[in-house]
Chain A
Amino acid sequence: MSAAAPRFGTAQVLFGLAVGILVIFVAVPVLLIFFNAFWVNGAFNVADVLKVLRQKDTYEALLNSLVLASGVTVTGTIVGTFFAWLVTRTDLPFKGAMKVLFLVPFMLPSFIGALAWKMLLSPRSGYINRFFQEVLGFDGPVFDIYTYGGIIGVETMYLFPFVFIQVCGALERMDPTLEESARISGADLFTITRRITIPLVLPSILSGALLIMLYSMAHFGTVAVLGIEAGIYNIPTLIYEKIHQSAGSFDSIRTGTVLATVLVVTAAFILWLQNRVLSRGRYQIIAGKSFRPTELKLRGLRYPLLAFCLAYIAFTIVLPTVTIFLVGGLKTYGLPLAAENFTWGNYRHILFEWQLTRDAIWNSITLGLAAALITMFAGVIISYVIVKMKVRGKGILEFLGMLPFSVPGSVIALGVILAWSGKFGVNLYNTVWIILVAYIARYMAFSLKANSAALEQVHDSLVEAARASGATMWQALRDVVVPLVRPGMLAAFFLIFLPALRELTVSVLLYGPTSRTIGVAIYTLNEDGETVYSAALAGIALVIIVTGEVVIKRFFKTASGS
């Protein structure tokens, strides 16, 4: 569009803005991490990095991250693929409702789930363990949630939807005649599943699996709640430990940056792998008009499998949620769950009396709104330059635009600490502003994704037609492009606002005395042994999150319906 314009015009302003935002918010923090990791006493130093990696706690954390993430990936992929197949390809009763239910775990913050499971299955005081001992007469605790298995199990419950969504989508969109032509070729259902269906959806399975891996690698909450008791640290929890316990000493910051570097490199590698899987394996398996593919008749297994699905949902969604609300209503943690032990007092205290929790709720909501608004606008500008404009140096911008996708939360947080605690003239440490800055970097990827998807739909000829009708570039943007990408911007807003409401990984590294978020408050209350308040706040958080999700779904439905 503006390739021929030699002046310093609109295009250059937008380009400069886009590069500036990405450099300041994303590139600088990441570079500072690399710099701190590799630059010691004025010299490039790899030996020291290796020394840090050889320390016992560091390599154990690395190993743990690997073991936990691999475990969750395997179990989550199996669970997600199985349920996806069940709701798309069989005659399971109430398939539509089941599909929606299987997506509910996505809404729930996994560290709250971890909290609930701790209340149920911790060896000393877990309600289920006590039930087994006190009612069924077992000698000792039956279950121990503070184990690798416990952590993997809890994370699986909340992460399997990554695979579930991908595989459902692939199975639903797949042209049914691909399988029918195998059938008419003489293959039975088992052979078709093995030789046609699975190979065709394999890219989707793998790409979902890699998302689980990526998320689990960089995930703080569950491991922090369930692992620390048994000395199980992963990379993000060790970074937290280093930064918090040693009050920002040079050595601990260095260890943090080395760990963060490993995390960035791993994340980048996983994303690269996912890209390869998708680009090599994304077959054109989508057909135009076709009726539903043949369903496998489950026959006698129909109701048993339905019961299994319902039990799974009851066990992984209903049970933990109910536990959170019940414990949140207890007078003291540990009391039996009986009517006389319940009170509304905890909820009242948290919502109306206690400054700490009221601040936390206020902080999370305002941070979420601010981050969503700023990131939405920044994202639309950057995406516009990347997708639509032909300016020199766009390659740099495209590279910078990839960056937010591969930078995990703990890395962002650490980078932001390095950049904004006064070393460069601005000190935001211990204020909400530092969290806001981190959120903008953290959620830039979501905004870029939603906005560039919307912009790809806006064909160049629409803008060209506006220009041919006499509009200037600004007028064309205002009257043609903006109205068309508005849905993408809205999507970006909510894609950021909702996760930001329940965010923990980033804010736990950045909070100060008055800048706790809801996630931080729940986590620290739990750490401090204020279990009932922690549960009550978690319950309130669940109500806010679910209400937000539902209202927004409604809103989008009516918006797209009209």
Chain B
Amino acid sequence: MGYVTLSQVTKRFGGVTAVDRLDVEVDQGECLAMLGPSGCGKTTTLRMVAGFEDIDEGEIRVGDRVLSSKRGNYYLPPEKRNFGMVFQAFAVWPHLTVLENVAFPLRIRRLPAAEIEQRTREALTHTNLLGVAHSRPDDLSGGGKQRVALARALAIRPDVMLLDEPLSSLDPHFREEMRFEIKDLQRRFGFSILYVTHDQSEAMALSDRILVMRAGVVQQVGAPTEVYRNPANRFVFAFVGLSSFLRVRLGEGGPAVDGADLPAGLCPPLPAELSGAPQAVLATRPSEVDFVAEGGLRGVVRRRSYLGEMVDYQVEVGGQDVRVQKTRHEPGPAPGEACGLLLRAARWYAADESD
């Protein structure tokens, strides 16, 4: 039984279905990342949970409390939902000091002054803001402002935190640091997190489970390793991690790549649902392809780039490109050289229009 439960949640804007029958549960103390390209409906989902958008179908609950329900014709406004929320553009109030920003939700709740003082102090302490409590947010860096937003969300001691791309307005260098801070806070206070991002590495690093979305439809929900190792479809494969896709013809004599040798037994067995299809794609990750001098899938190295610790090869195989990554200590062929490729963990997917 999940703590935050979304069932069959749907949202339409005019003719566009921004979120389509979404089902997901988040446990107490769990962090669920919603991952997907821009415009796929992540923010809309979060805003429905927060109560800024009403739902067109389905139901949203926290514990046994209903927040939005189409069938029950019920909608609880955001100010009554008791969530902490952090927005991409910070949304800290420039006319109030850091302290006043953080105390705002507590003053609204008319808590006793001593408690406001104590809770504000606690939130500021945990976000390392005590030193700038009396500054204005505009005097702080992007990271500082986002800390204020976080502290303000923490102050009410919510049991669910909604974070909408909280790190994407920050300098890359701050992002990692903030990631750990958010994780630390969660460990300390034990709230659940719904975390929206389009950055797969952020989702991997932070979350207990990842929900991958595309055009309003859930593609897969699972632990980061599960989603990475066992992508439910080609979209998920491409979205989480680096990938190359090889068009393969499926004929009488087994799989074949145009203009290149594909030795039998190099690729994994064809799943049953693809047998009989005229062609399919073979998906590989650059880190899971090995070079061999003899045999293997034959190709020619077109480009070699050094990415610091890693070396990236672009290998042309019968007119298609396969990316390979090796550490700089491993030997590899030079540009122009012919080579063989072994695919360690390739997966089959159905070909689509683009192939």
Contacts and interface: CB of A to CB of B under 8 A. Distances in A.
A424 to B, nearest CB: 51
Interface in A263-307: 281, 283-285, 287-288, 290, 294
A175 B89 contact: yes
A181 B94 contact: no
A284 B108 contact: no
Nearest to B145: A284
A283 B94 contact: yes
A294 to B, nearest CB: 7
B87 A185 contact: no
B189 interface: no
B176 to A, nearest CB: 23
Nearest to A191: B108
B156 A185 contact: yes
A315 B146 CA distance: 50
Contact of B105 (A186, A287, A290): A186
A175 to B, nearest CB: 6
Contacts of A188: 79
Interface string A457-476: 00000000000000000000
Contact of A185 (B52, B88, B105): B105
Contact of B89 (A187, A199, A283, A288): A288
B288 interface: no
Nearest to A203: B95
B87 A180 contact: yes
B50, B82, B87 — most chain A CB neighbours (10 Å): B87
A283 B89 CA distance: 14
A175 B138 CA distance: 15
B109 A186 contact: yes
B108 A178 contact: no
B149 A184 contact: no
Interface in B42-63: 50-52
A430 interface: no
A200 B138 CA distance: 13
A427 B105 CA distance: 70
B75 interface: no
B152 A181 contact: yes
Contacts of A182: 93, 104
B52 A294 contact: yes
Contact of A284 (B94, B149, B152): B94
A366 interface: no
B108 A181 contact: no
B93 A200 contact: yes
A177 B81 CA distance: 17
Contacts of A199: 95
A28 B50 CA distance: 63
B154 to A, nearest CB: 12
A283 B93 CA distance: 9
A196 B149 CA distance: 15
A183 B51 CA distance: 10
B83 interface: yes
Nearest to B162: A184
A389 B316 CA distance: 55
Nearest to A192: B79
A185 B104 contact: yes
A186 B79 contact: yes
A184 B89 contact: no
A200 B101 CA distance: 14
A178 B87 CA distance: 9
Contacts of A287: 89
Interface in A316-338: none
A181 B91 contact: yes
A21 B60 CA distance: 69
B85 interface: yes
A285 B78 CA distance: 22
Interface string B85-119: 10111011111000000001100110000000000
B149 A187 contact: no
B78 to A, nearest CB: 5
Interface string A166-204: 000000000101101111111110010001100110000
A199 B100 CA distance: 14
Contacts of B93: 178, 181-182, 196, 200
Nearest to A179: B91
Given A187-B108, A288-B89, A180 B94 contact: no
B157 to A, nearest CB: 13
A92 B162 CA distance: 32
A185 B152 contact: yes
A199 B93 CA distance: 10
Contact of B81 (A178, A184, A191, A195): A184
Contacts of B50: 180, 184
B83, B85, B91, B162 — most chain A CB neighbours (10 Å): B91
Given A181-B149, A191-B108, A175 B91 contact: yes
B104, B109, B152 — most chain A CB neighbours (10 Å): B104
B138 A184 contact: no
Nearest to B138: A284
B95 A181 contact: no
A184 B85 contact: yes
A231 to B, nearest CB: 46
Contacts of B109: 186
A178 B79 contact: no
Nearest to B89: A287
Contact of A178 (B78, B88, B91, B138): B91
A186 B87 contact: no
Interface string A399-436: 00000000000000000000000000000000000000
25 contacts: A175-B91, A177-B88, A178-B93, A180-B91, A181-B87, A181-B93, A182-B93, A183-B52, A183-B77, A183-B78, A184-B85, A185-B79, A185-B105, A185-B108, A186-B109, A187-B79, A187-B104, A187-B105, A188-B79, A191-B108, A195-B104, A200-B94, A283-B94, A285-B94, A287-B89
List the 10 closest pairs (A to B, CB-CB), nearest first: A185-B105, A283-B94, A177-B91, A181-B91, A177-B87, A287-B89, A186-B108, A184-B85, A199-B95, A183-B78
Given A181-B85, A183-B52, A185-B79, 16 more contacts: A175-B89, A180-B78, A180-B85, A180-B91, A181-B91, A183-B78, A184-B51, A185-B104, A185-B108, A186-B105, A186-B156, A187-B79, A188-B79, A199-B95, A285-B94, A287-B89
